[in-house]
Amino acid sequence: MQKTINRLGVWLLMALSTTACQDHWLEIKSDKQLVIPSSLKDLQALLDNTTEMNFSTTPSLGEVGTTDYYLPDEDWQALSSEEQRNAYRWDEIIYAGESCYSWNYPYKSVLHANLALEGLEKVTRTAGDEDAWNNIRGSALFYRSWAFFQLAQVFGKPYAKATAMSDLGIPLRLESDINIPSVRATVQRTYDQIISDVWKAVKLLPETPLVQTRPGKAAAYALLAKAYLHTQVYDSAHSTATQCLQSAHQLMDYNQLDPAADYPFAQMNEEVIYQATMAPLSALFRVMHVEGELYEKYAPGDLRKVMYYLEEEGRVSFKGTYDGSIRLFSGIAVDEVMLLKAEAEARLGRVDDAMSTLNALLVTRWESGTYEALTAESEAQALQLIMEERHKSLPYRGIRWMDLRRVAHEPGLAVTLRRELEGQVYILEPGAPRYVLPIPDDVIELSGMPQNPR
Run means of pLDDT, 10 residues per run, the chain, 454 residues: 36 40 32 65 97 96 97 97 96 92 97 97 92 98 98 98 98 93 96 98 97 98 99 98 97 98 98 96 93 97 98 96 97 98 98 98 98 98 98 98 98 97 98 98 94 96
Q: Return d(Cα 4, Cα 8) in angstroms, integer.
A: 6
Q: What is the dihedral of CA 61, 259, 338, 360, to 10 degrees?
A: -160
pLDDT of residue 38: 78
Q: Show the beta-strand stretches assigned E in 39-115.
A: 69-70
Identity of the residue numbered 127: A
CB count in 10 Å sphere of residue 118: 17
- C-alpha to C-alpha distances, 83 to 64, 93, 99, 427, nearest whole angstrom: 10, 9, 9, 19
Q: Return d(Cα 3, Cα 8) in angstroms, integer.
A: 9
83's CB contacts (< 8 A; 6+ apart) are: 61, 94, 95, 96, 98, 100
CB–CB of 25/358 below 8 Å?
Answer: no
- C-alpha to C-alpha distances, 422 to 50, 76, 81, nearest whole angstrom: 40, 9, 18
- C-alpha to C-alpha distances, 254 to 258, 265, 288, nearest whole angstrom: 8, 10, 25
- C-alpha to C-alpha distances, 401 to 62, 316, 397, 442, nearest whole angstrom: 6, 21, 9, 25
Relative orientation angle of helices 40-47 and 101-120, to the nearest 10 degrees: 170
pLDDT of residue 34: 53
Compute the Cα dihedral for 445, 446, 450, 454 and give only its sign.
Answer: negative
Domain 209-413: which CATH class?
Answer: mainly alpha
End-to-end CA distance of the chain: 30
pLDDT of residue 124: 87
Q: Return d(Cα 128, Cα 321) in angstroms, integer.
A: 40
DSSP annotation of 437: P
Vertex 417 angle, CA 414 and 418, to 5°: 150
Q: What are phi and psi of 227, to 5 degrees?
A: -65, -40
Domain span(s) for CATH 1.25.40.390 in the chain: 209-413
**Beta-strand pair 168-171/309-312:** unpaired
Q: In terms of Cα–Cα distance, which of 57, 101, 109, 19 is closest to 276?
A: 57
pLDDT of residue 20: 35
Domain span(s) for CATH 1.25.40.890 in the chain: 1-61+98-205+435-454
pLDDT of residue 352: 98
Please give the CATH topology (third level) of the domain spanning 1-61+98-205+435-454: 1.25.40
The separation between CA 368 and the C-alpha centre of its own chain, rounded to angstroms, equals 32
CB–CB of 321/329 below 8 Å?
Answer: yes
pLDDT of residue 160: 98
pLDDT of residue 5: 32
